[in-house]
A and B are shown apart, each in its own frame.
Chain A
């Protein structure tokens, strides 16, 4: 599994060579775009890391976790991951900040760290995507879009716990 990323990169570079694409020029162009995206989201990340650090150091996280702990315990959901799961559908950079918060607090190889990782990888910023796509064409009546999208997120949360328990 560790080798998947380098292998994937090699396949794409080799494919580009076969297709006679100016591989390195393309790479540089893409990398520049990547930097541009990061430049755009950097202020958001700084603001959210600030907010998340406040939340953690003030003890507010412990208070919030205290409320949901019985429910989280009941389904075996690690309480440290609750704030991240709650922010995940709303903000991608915000949940990234909370994800590294879990890593710092419990370590990435802990149960909570693994569940947080799987949630980050298998759910999306649902509300943002819905607002952007429907907003772009002026559709107001979403019918059952939200129900289906929220079902996807809740499924991802539940299955994350189940798969981490089963495989790791």
Chain B
């Protein structure tokens, strides 16, 4: 998908610059973009290393598991047909809490494991089960509590209060998640679209 989007952006831009007479600006942008990209990567490198390091401590010390335990009651409501002591339910809780802590790299393996478990329960069907839909939808709504990368990028580009947006991010995330779950669970309940 990105192959087409990227090519389209490059070609459309070059045609557009000729039509609009911005060829000079475009040439400058080509030269500057390499330096701009490296600058962005250097900014991201610092945050990424620092927080990956801190979060490794959270993982190894069992902090993540404690967070996971806090979410068990809520997840029981969303996955009423799963055994709360089973491995699949465990993978789901770990995935959700890792996402919440901003541990994208930890969340993904747990998520893939959860999907495999759900697939087994679903009898290896080609059609998504109710649980799969709820789980994937939870992963497509961003749940991160502390958007560290976002804050750092804001600060790098001169924000006076890089974290002032946090309450807005939480409200917006919560609303997005609520909308997604309402549709997922609502349609699951009506049994529409099931084979």
Contact = CB atoms under 8 A, between A and B. Distances in A.
B133 interface: yes
Given A124-B141, A148-B137, A148-B180, A21 B60 contact: yes
A123 B194 CA distance: 28
A42 B39 CA distance: 11
A133 B99 CA distance: 15
- The DSSP consensus for interface residues of chain A is helix
Contacts of B153: 96, 99-100, 103, 108
Contact of A49 (B33, B57, B141): B33
Contact of A152 (B56, B112, B180, B194): B180
Interface string A39-75: 0001001111111111111111001000000000000
A135 to B, nearest CB: 10
A96 B169 contact: no
Contacts of B132: 133-134, 139, 145
A49 B32 CA distance: 10
Nearest to B31: A53
Interface in B87-141: 105, 108, 111-112, 115-116, 118-119, 124-128, 132-133, 135-137, 139-141
Central interface residue in B1, B148, B175, by most chain A CB within 10 Å: B175
B176 A152 contact: yes
A144 B136 CA distance: 11
A167 B168 contact: yes
A34 B168 contact: no
Contacts of A154: 179
Instruction: Give 7 closest A-B pairs by Cβ, nearest first.
Output: A30-B56, A34-B52, A58-B17, A57-B29, A121-B169, A122-B172, A152-B180
Interface of B: 1-2, 5-6, 9-10, 12-14, 16-17, 20, 22, 25-26, 28-30, 32-34, 36-38, 40-41, 44-45, 48-63, 105, 108, 111-112, 115-116, 118-119, 124-128, 132-133, 135-137, 139-142, 144, 146-151, 153-154, 157-173, 175-181, 183-184, 187, 192-195
